[in-house]
Amino acid sequence: MQAEIKNKRITMTDELAEVVTAASMEGIDGQELARILGISKTALLTAQKYNRKFRDLVDNAALEVRVKIMRALMRMAEGYKYEEITYATEKDGTKRAIKWQEKWMPPDLKVAEIVMRLANPETKVSESPKTVVHKIEVTLDNKKLEKKKNAIESSYEVVV
């Protein structure tokens, strides 16, 4: 694909937008993006400087990647539920699910520490990752106890 540049501006087309978005989502750097577009890196930097739509397109795609990474790290730091499925193979070769089991992936201390350091890059982390994970687990346990308490209270009739 060849990008059209006139007077330091890239002519934005739908095809160009798709290519730039896909490249940014995959984490492709500026030099590789310039090669894909068929322009020099200097021309790419100039186009980003003078073409707001192009610059916003690249920045938004890069931001979206960072947000996805932070969500994944937060999920790992907090722990999560997942479903494990056991399959059986039939005589004709087809697979059939025979058992579903919900499991809990516990919080990862190393990832919790990384998330804390990313959240507070200038300041030192005041709490250890173990303390943060403990607070998360206590909160989850309290929520479970509250649900059980509500279930028990709702099962009894109050006679006045």
The encoded tokens of residue 51 equal 């073409």
Structure confidence at residue 157 (pLDDT) = 54
The residue extents of the domains of the chain are 5-74, 79-155
pLDDT band at 81 (very low <50, low <70, confident <90, very high): very high
pLDDT band at 5 (very low <50, low <70, confident <90, very high): low
CA distance 135 to 141: 10
CA distance 156 to 160: 13
Residue type, 132: V
CA distance 153 to 36: 64
